Amino acid sequence: MSQAELTMGGHTSGMARPFAIPTKKLAMWLFIIADTMTFAACLVAYGFLRNGTANWPTPFKFSPTVVNAMVMTFVLISSSLTMLLGVRAAKAGDKSGAFRWTMITAAAGILFAALHLREWLGMIDEGVRLFQNPWGSGLFGAAFFSITGLHLLHVTSGVIALIIVGLRYKGGRYNADDIEILGLYWHFVDLVWMFVVPLVYLLNVAR
Amino acid sequence: MATESHKADSLGKYLLVYVCILAIAGLQFVVAYQPIDKSRMLVRMLSLAIVEAGLGVMFFMHLWQEKRGFLWFVAIIAVFVLAAMNYSWPDSFRMLVGAPFSK
């Protein structure tokens, strides 16, 4: 068998759908695995700095920071449920339902981002900057803003993707598979937050 | 891409998973105010986060419904690399005690 035949065969049979998963979905899973490593590297680096710094500050008061984190967590977890409902509606062929749930998910993402920015502005008002703050090690600001900023970037990208994919799905250019693949990304953003909250917020609660 | 198993999913199951994840997230906030040292708090919070993430990956992301080979593919890669990353941070104890080189 020639190389060309092997290549053709590879593309049309065994190699076409590894694990019986459609290519676009597999690509999203691989992206999620890679992005997991990015966040993990950030959190491990943060753990290294936090553990190795004697005067690491623990400034977060119950109100407003912890309450705000609770609301943000509720909003993001609930947005995963609305995304799931959107995927279910798309799979069932309910186009208007899928579009509606996708837009509700985007709205929840916008609310999350707004709460996050309000919190950032409050901290900046208190004098927290990337490499200085009024409480202790200057690394605190760098760790806090870089990790939460990276997550906020993912949420913002997700909201833009939700709006674009939702509109294109409604217009008939995208199908239910595209909504499902975008759903994977949105759930991943939610999962990352489950680690950011305890490590970055709750371990730095003021007592 | 739609499979029979996807269609057969009941909304109740997802609502239950949603409530469980919310409850575990709530527990994390409770743990934050427990009178325990930071290392025990870290272990408790990370354990809760792993359970939360596991529920999300398995049910919201439907990994449980994919082929077992794919489940193992994702799990082994993720666990191995995440574990390997933890090789470095215990070195921060050396910084904390002020020893420039390990003895």
Answer yes or no: is A185 within a domain.
yes
Q: Which chain B residues are within 8 Å of A91, Cβ to Cβ?
A: 2, 6-7
Chain A nearest-CA residue for B54: A191
Which runs of E-coded beta strand occur in B1-103?
none
- Domain limits for position A187: 23-204
Cα gap A147→A145, rounded to integer Å: 6
Chain A nearest-CA residue for B4: A91
Of the candidate ranges A6-20, A103-117, A174-188, B34-48, the one whose mean pLDDT is the lowest = A6-20
A81 near B18, Cβ under 8 Å? yes
Share of chain A above pLDDT 90, in %: 83
**Which CATH number goes with the domain that contains A98?**
1.20.120.80
pLDDT value of position B77: 87
Q: Average pLDDT for residues A175-195, to the nearest whole number?
A: 97
Answer yes or no: is A92 within a domain.
yes
Answer yes or no: is A39 within a domain.
yes
Between chain A and chain B, how many beta carbons pairs sit less than 8 Å apart? 132
Please tell me the distance in Å from B103's CA to the nearest CA on chain A. 17
Of the candidate ranges A5-14, A172-181, B1-10, B77-86, the one whose mean pLDDT is the lowest = A5-14
Give domain limits for chain B: 1-65, 67-103
Answer yes or no: is A81 within a domain.
yes
Within 82-101 of A, beta carbons closer than 8 Å to B belong to 83-85, 88, 91-92
Cα gap A84→A186, rounded to integer Å: 10
Chain B nearest-CA residue for A200: B42
Within 33-62 of B, beta carbons closer than 8 Å to A belong to 33, 38, 41-42, 45-46, 48-49, 52-53, 56-57, 60-61
Answer yes or no: is A106 within a domain.
yes
pLDDT value of position B36: 94
Distances (CA, A) of A206 to A56, A57, A63, B32, B90: 12, 9, 11, 10, 24
Cα gap A113→A119, rounded to integer Å: 10
Share of chain B above pLDDT 70, in %: 84
B52 near A194, Cβ under 8 Å? yes
- Looking at the complex, does the CB of residue B15 fall below 8 Å from at least one CB of chain A? yes
A139 pLDDT above the threshold of 60: yes
Structural domain total, chain A: 1
